[in-house]
Amino acid sequence: MHIIKEPEEYSFKKVGIRGKNFPTDKLSDKAGFLIIETDAGHETTIVEHKCDFIYYILEGKGYFVIEDKKEECSKGDLVVIPAGKKFIYKGKLKMLLCSTPPWWEEQEDVVD
């Protein structure tokens, strides 16, 4: 099966966000895909040490602060965060997240 429907249930809810993880691990070990939703934003600043994060804004608007630089975003925008950069986001947003390689918790640090 090569077409994966959006999961109906959330895979996680934490720090102001909720997410649905697409089960792509049987098809590819190069990237992971998630739907991320938030009503107000991520509550912590994080650093992904090994994963590049690429967010596509599906709905809403807000902003990202990447390495202390604030940038506005809205529907249709692509936000690219290379591994090793600290970031946070705020706003009411629904996003598709591509993580390369697929995200795993041990490589992530919470800065504040």
Partners of 34 in beta bridges: 21, 97
Confidence class for position 112, pLDDT limits 50, 70, 90:
confident
Residue 97 has pLDDT above 90, yes or no: yes
Question: What is the per-residue pLDDT for 35?
Answer: 98
Distances (CA, A) of 5 to 23, 33, 63, 75, 99: 9, 12, 28, 21, 18
Cα of 75 vs its chain's centroid, Å: 15
Residue 94 has a pLDDT of: 98
Confidence check: pLDDT of 1 > 90? no
Average pLDDT of the residues of the chain: 96
DSSP labels for 87-111? Answer: EEEEEEEEEEEEEES---GGGEEE-
Whether domain 13-104 has CATH 2.60.120.10: yes
68-96 confidence digits (pLDDT tens): 999 999 999 999 999 999 999 999 999 99
Burial class (CB in 10 A: 0-12, 13-18, 19+), 95: buried
Question: pLDDT tens digits for 4-62?
Answer: 999 999 999 999 999 999 999 889 999 999 999 999 999 999 999 999 999 999 999 99
74: region left, alpha or beta (phi > 0 left; psi from -120 to 50 alpha): beta
Read off the pTM.
Answer: 0.95
